Amino acid sequence: MSLLNNSEWYDLARQTNWTPRYVSERELFPPELSDPYGIPVSEWAKFDEPYKVTYRDYVRTQREKDVGAYSVKSAVDRVAFYKTADPGWKALLQLHFGAVPFVEYGSVSAFARMTRFGRGPGMRNMASFGTLDEIRHTQIQMYFGYEFLSVDSAFDWAQKAPNTDNWVVVSERHAFDDVEHTRDAVSSAIMTNFSFEQGFTNLQFIALSADAKRNGDHSFSAMLQTVQSDEARHAQIGEPLLEIMISNGKTAEAQRLVDISFWRVWKQFSALSGVCMDYYTPLAKREHSLKEFVDEFVCQQFMRNLKALGLQKPWYWDEHFLPDVDTFHHAQHIGMYLYRKTGWWNPVASVGPAEREWLETKYPGWNDTYGQVWDVITESILDGNLDKTEPPLLPMLCNMSGLELSGVAGKKWNVKAWHVDLNGRRYHFGSAVDKWIFELEPSRYRSHLSIVDRFVAGLMPPGPDGVYEYMGMAPEERGRCGQDYQWAEAFRNRKAA
Ligand code: MN
Ligand code: MN
């Protein structure tokens, strides 16, 4: 039997905008879930997916990808690799496998809702494959993470994390619920597929994959690559949607969706990828800084796509975003190290003499700012005052990002507080942009309680361990310095000299 070429039947076969007879159109596609922008169905039907793929081809390709990634894994003795890995690389793996799989799992339902409520048949088709992609991403990352469970209990967080109220998890959940899960199919697809996936996943999956290869972690590198090969396809859902929005007079609405989600996702990637790239990746194997990766993948590639569509760079680009690329993750790294007991991974400081030199080269002025904070921490460690390196809980957190309120330290001291008073409650924000997002739609955000709010509201068990119990962290799960403070020793001789 001869088969038709895909191109001969594809467009016709996916024309599934049938006229419902048993329910009304409105019941089948409620605007608040499908399209609150009131764009005609005939317009959504123009959605033309850049990647046309059939189920048969999809399954075959995915199977080949899985065989590729899993065979690299079985060829390499992962546990032996892990045991001798640099403490920084261990911290990176622990953080990645606790923080990423559940976001992938969340994406499954985000795509499933696009499949159900999207108005364009082409969009629904692509989102169906996206749903399957994200199941694969969850499975492969949990599988690879779990392999280390016999040597390190931190990897239990690959599964445990989403069932806890650990502060990092609360921060991620707040951001990705906003972007992926609490809006209509059009808005969440623009925020997820365009801003999040096209804008940022390259950082964690391409850039980090290259770092992994240089660190000899071939199976982690292969895993990241196979995930990103799917992202590159289903991230394309965003562009046709934006084109339809723009040609139907909804440019301002589209721009706003991008502006909100770009910032929300940036904060997450800055803290996760930024700290991993500039601190946890062993210096000898580092090629680019976060800033260099952001410049290539975000400032050039993503901006090119944004402008080609007829949108502008977000309003806060020059004043807030670019300075943030130079600063935010340095401050977050300090916070994660000092409050290490509140994380499931064992962070490394990675600020020995050679690392500091690298940081100064990549971020001129680092020594005069964040370096000054590390001077104090180094001093405390050398003097044996380890308790001074663990400030009391809890730090102030941003009511939008859920991350520590921070600024620029040292000689360029620049710490500003932004707040909003609403119905007798004060909301604190780490930046003018976080505050701007809150004020756009206070009803969306005002009920959320940060970890600090929960503490103040008495929602945590009493006693000094109450916060840890609340976050699901038994004593043996709490992070400690991944280098046992040895990194500071290099400064002892200098001090003596
Ligand atoms: Mn994914
Ligand atoms: Mn994805």
User: Could you report the per-residue pLDDT of 201-256, keeping only the tens digit for each?
Assistant: 888 788 888 889 999 999 899 999 999 999 999 999 999 999 999 999 999 999 99
Q: Specify the pLDDT at position 202.
A: 84
Q: 464 — phi, psi (to 5°)?
A: -65, -25
Q: Specify the pLDDT at position 90.
A: 97
CA distance 127 to 77: 36
Q: Cα(121) to centroid of ligand 2, in Å?
A: 19
Q: Cα(351) to centroid of ligand 2, in Å?
A: 34
Cis peptide before 394 (omega within 30 of 0): yes
CA distance 350 to 359: 10
* Mean pLDDT, residues 99-108: 96
Q: Cα(227) to centroid of ligand 1, in Å?
A: 6
* Mean pLDDT, residues 186-192: 97
Q: Specify the pLDDT at position 306.
A: 95
- pLDDT, tens digit, 9 for 90 and up, residues 177-186: 999 999 999 9
Q: Cα(104) to centroid of ligand 1, in Å?
A: 5
CA distance 336 to 347: 7
Q: Specify the pLDDT at position 392.
A: 86
What's the one-letter identity of residue 456? V
* Mean pLDDT, residues 377-394: 93
pLDDT over 90 at 393, yes or no: no
101: left (phi over 0), alpha (psi -120 to 50) or beta: alpha
Q: Which ligand is nearest to the CA of 180?
A: 2
User: Of residues 37 and 14, which shows the higher confidence score?
Assistant: 37
- pLDDT, tens digit, 9 for 90 and up, residues 316-347: 999 999 999 999 999 999 999 999 999 999 99
- Which residues partner with 360 through β-bridges? none
pLDDT over 70 at 371, yes or no: yes
pLDDT over 80 at 459, yes or no: yes
Q: Which ligand is nearest to the CA of 196?
A: 2
CA distance 61 to 63: 5
Q: Cα(201) to centroid of ligand 1, in Å?
A: 9
Q: Which ligand is nearest to the CA of 232?
A: 2
SS3 content of the chain, % helix, strand, coil (to 5): 65, 5, 30
CA distance 196 to 272: 14
Reported confidence tier of residue 1, pLDDT bands at 50, 70, 90? low
Q: Residues near 352 by Cβ (< 8 Å), separated by ≥ 6?
A: 487, 490, 491
Q: Cα(331) to centroid of ligand 2, in Å?
A: 28
Q: Cα(419) to centroid of ligand 1, in Å?
A: 34
Q: Cα(179) to centroid of ligand 1, in Å?
A: 14
Q: Specify the pLDDT at position 486.
A: 95
Q: Two tokens at 129?
A: 């494959």
CB 57 within 8 A of CB 251: no
476 CB neighbour count, 10 Å cutoff: 6
Q: Which ligand is nearest to the CA of 129?
A: 2
Reported confidence tier of residue 15, pLDDT bands at 50, 70, 90? confident
Q: Specify the pLDDT at position 74.
A: 77
pLDDT over 90 at 440, yes or no: yes
Q: Two tokens at 80?
A: 């032996």
- Which residues partner with 426 through β-bridges? 421
CATH for 39-496? 1.10.620.20
Q: Cα(459) to centroid of ligand 2, in Å?
A: 34
- Residue-level length of the chain: 497
* Mean pLDDT, residues 472-493: 95
Q: Which ligand is nearest to the CA of 205?
A: 1
Q: Specify the pLDDT at position 488.
A: 96
CA distance 176 to 242: 20
Q: Cα(413) to centroid of ligand 2, in Å?
A: 38
Reported confidence tier of residue 410, pLDDT bands at 50, 70, 90? confident
What proportion of the chain, given as a percentage, has pLDDT over 70? 100
- pLDDT, tens digit, 9 for 90 and up, residues 61-96: 999 999 998 888 777 778 889 999 999 999 999 999
Q: Residues near 71 by Cβ (< 8 Å), separated by ≥ 6?
A: none
- Give me the torsion for CA of 132, 137, 143, 144, rounded to 10°: 150
What's the one-letter identity of residue 481? C
Q: Which ligand is nearest to the CA of 127?
A: 2
pLDDT over 80 at 497, yes or no: no
CA distances from 26 to 19, 31, 117, 288 (A): 11, 7, 11, 51
Q: Which ligand is nearest to the CA of 103?
A: 1
* Mean pLDDT, residues 401-418: 88
Q: Specify the pLDDT at position 494.
A: 79
Q: Cα(138) to centroid of ligand 2, in Å?
A: 10
Q: Cα(134) to centroid of ligand 1, in Å?
A: 5
Say what the pTM is. Answer: 0.96
Q: Cα(231) to centroid of ligand 2, in Å?
A: 5
- pLDDT, tens digit, 9 for 90 and up, residues 113-149: 999 999 999 999 999 999 999 999 999 999 999 999 9
Reported confidence tier of residue 412, pLDDT bands at 50, 70, 90? confident
CA distance 346 to 368: 26
